[in-house]
A and B are shown apart, each in its own frame.
Chain A
Amino acid sequence: MSQWTATPILEAPVAEGAKDQTMVLNMGPQHPSTHGVLRLVLEIDGEIVVRLYPEIGYLHTGIEKTCEAKFYHQVVPLTDRIDYLSPMHNNLCYCLAVEKLLELPIPEKAQWMRVLLAELTRLNSHLVWLGTHAMDIGALTVFLYTFREREEILRIFEYVAGQRMMTSYIRIGGLALEPPVDFFDRVQGFIRTFPEKIDEYSNLLTGNPIFMNRLQNVGHLSAEDAIALGVTGPPLRASGVDFDLRRDMPYSGYEKFQFEVPVSQRCDVWGRYEVRLREMRESTKIIQQALDGMPEGAIKADAPKIVLPDREKMKTQMESLIHHFKIVTEGFTVPSGEVYQGIESSRGQMGYYVVSDGTSKPYRVHMRNPSFASLQALETMCRGRMLADVVAVIGSIDVVLGEIDR
């Protein structure tokens, strides 16, 4: 059926003059340092990496195709499953895109809750990154510490959404449920002690000579290369590019929060480590501001034909029952058009491109995932360096294979 034939990987061109003495090494798809099923085909000259091919697609489940067969509101749980470390970012980005198509205003409290949860998600994701990255380098202890705090974040998610990981809590038009009464106290309790925990991780790693030697001046990526190769998020800011969608193109009310965007000029793995650690401190500040200024009011938009009614109203009011029945069985129609919504996820710029043809199912949903693009820069960062550095570099761009393969 295909009109063009593809080039098999081993027939791909080999670096000039290197063929006689190099060997091809396969790394993955089951390798402890590849964070999922990432396969790397490396051409090495002794221990020096000559070329590197990432082979992806082992987790491809056709989520974009599945979305086209679902109602708009049925897509939300699918977005959780793209990235198991930041489900709320995917929920948020998809919902913002559909709300933009619908031109639906969101109540302030829902926006602030979304910011609070997005930043908690960032902490969750960065904690897993820090633990596994340090473990790849050989510092096993940090993993136990970061997972201790991550566990508390997951408990908070379970408390508010009923699910630890696949939350689906952010919905089109607002949030799924009113947060429990003492939810804010619980987040406050976590945030109060969290900055000390960051100091604790930093104590274990920042001055550690082995960790420093493995990270400093490794995986160099210049600002020009980062932009040319589509790298976003912490790796981009660690290359000296001061750009963060939360500050520069704010969404969901981020313009009301004061925070700094950490930037490093180091362009190496150490720079990315520093940037993420400082980002965790900034996220803590944002969560504190969200807790302090949390407005009162509704958590769902006033749009009965789009947002599911409260359970109690559904049992007592005829209109609510009808709306519930209609939304669940027929979905709701969305005006035709196309939108692209970008947000700053834990790994970089995430984007949802949603095309509507005026029916109740999305005509096309496309996810622009930061890991997918960052993976292209892997070869640039590893070429000419030692094989052992590849492990440090993969950890530094923080790939999640679920969102690469979709």
Chain B
Amino acid sequence: MSATLHGKDAVLAEMGQHPAISAVVAKMPDALTNARWDREELTLTIAPEKLVPVAELIRQSGYNFLEDVTAVDWFPAQEPRFQVSYHLLSHVRKERIRLRVMLAGSRPEVETITGVWPSANYYEREVYDLFGVHFAGHPNLRRILMPDDWTGHPLRKDYPVEGYR
């Protein structure tokens, strides 16, 4: 396999047999908008509105453990600016896969995956707290690390590291 594969077509051509990819391509082909194989890590970019059914498909394909949910703010270089990354682990295949969704800066919102993995609860609260990304349908979307009455979301790139806000 090549060291790096950029783009959906390249990944599909070489890794079409991968259980997660084949499950998504068979059931929801238009949900997969981009893919990358880089430094032995597989990243699938998913259309935000299809995240939950795709997550369920990938869970059924063997990725049983949600390891992490976090976000990256690409402001001001990119729009949609928020990238939410989900790291999934398979206890059987002993492999990770990364899902990512890109969200617009004006009202970043994606559906919660707490219905698929209940452990997403805290991670999504953290992303909401530090990035201001809203998770629709989350059971308890409150700030988790910052005080409840804090204004602003510290890990956004337009929030200064020091000095006055």
Contacts and interface: CB of A to CB of B under 8 A. Distances in A.
Nearest to A372: B122
B122 A376 contact: yes
A57 B94 contact: no
B91 A241 contact: yes
A368 B41 contact: no
A373 B89 CA distance: 15
Interface string A2-23: 1110111100100000000000
A318 interface: no
B161 A66 contact: yes
Contacts of A373: 119, 122-123
B152 interface: yes
A165 to B, nearest CB: 23
B146 interface: yes
Interface stretch (A223-231, A286-294, A306-314, A321-329): A223-231
Nearest to A53: B140
B70 interface: yes
Given A65-B161, A340-B41, A375 B122 contact: yes
Contacts of B111: none
Nearest to A57: B145
Interface of A is mostly: mixed
A339 B42 CA distance: 10
Contacts of B144: 56-57
Contacts of B70: 353, 366, 368
A368 B159 CA distance: 22
21 contacts: A1-B152, A1-B153, A6-B143, A7-B141, A12-B140, A56-B144, A64-B155, A65-B159, A69-B161, A228-B118, A230-B65, A337-B38, A338-B43, A338-B98, A339-B39, A340-B96, A353-B68, A364-B73, A368-B68, A405-B145, A406-B145
Contacts of A64: 130, 155
Interface in A365-381: 366, 368, 372-373, 375-376
Interface string B136-163: 0000111111111001111100010100
Given A1-B153, A230-B65, 14 more contacts: A9-B142, A57-B145, A57-B146, A227-B64, A227-B91, A230-B119, A338-B72, A340-B87, A353-B87, A368-B68, A368-B70, A373-B119, A373-B123, A376-B118
A106 interface: no
Most chain B beta-carbon neighbours within 10 Å: one of A103, A363, A364: A364
B67 interface: yes
B119 to A, nearest CB: 3
Given A3-B107, A4-B141, A62-B154, A368 B67 contact: yes
B39 A100 contact: yes
Nearest to A353: B70
Nearest to A230: B119
Interface in B81-122: 85, 87, 89, 91, 94-96, 98, 107, 117-119, 121-122
A2 B142 CA distance: 12
Contacts of A342: 67, 89, 96
A284 interface: no
A364 B119 contact: no
Nearest to B161: A69
B142 A6 contact: yes
B52 to A, nearest CB: 16
A376 B121 contact: yes
A351 interface: yes
Contacts of A101: 39
Chain B interface size range: 35 or more
Interface residues of A, number: 48
A57 B155 CA distance: 15
A405 B159 CA distance: 19
Contacts of A12: 140
Contacts of B153: 1-2
B66 interface: yes
Nearest to B87: A340
Contacts of B94: 248-249
A341 B98 CA distance: 12
Interface string A390-406: 00000000000000011
Interface in A41-90: 56-57, 60, 62, 64-66, 68-69
Interface in A330-388: 337-340, 342, 349, 351, 353, 355, 363-364, 366, 368, 372-373, 375-376
Interface string A220-256: 0000000111100000000001010000110000000
A44 B123 CA distance: 27
Most chain A beta-carbon neighbours within 10 Å: one of B68, B94, B142, B151: B68
A241 B31 CA distance: 32
B134 interface: yes
B126 to A, nearest CB: 8
A65 B89 CA distance: 26
Contacts of A249: 94-95
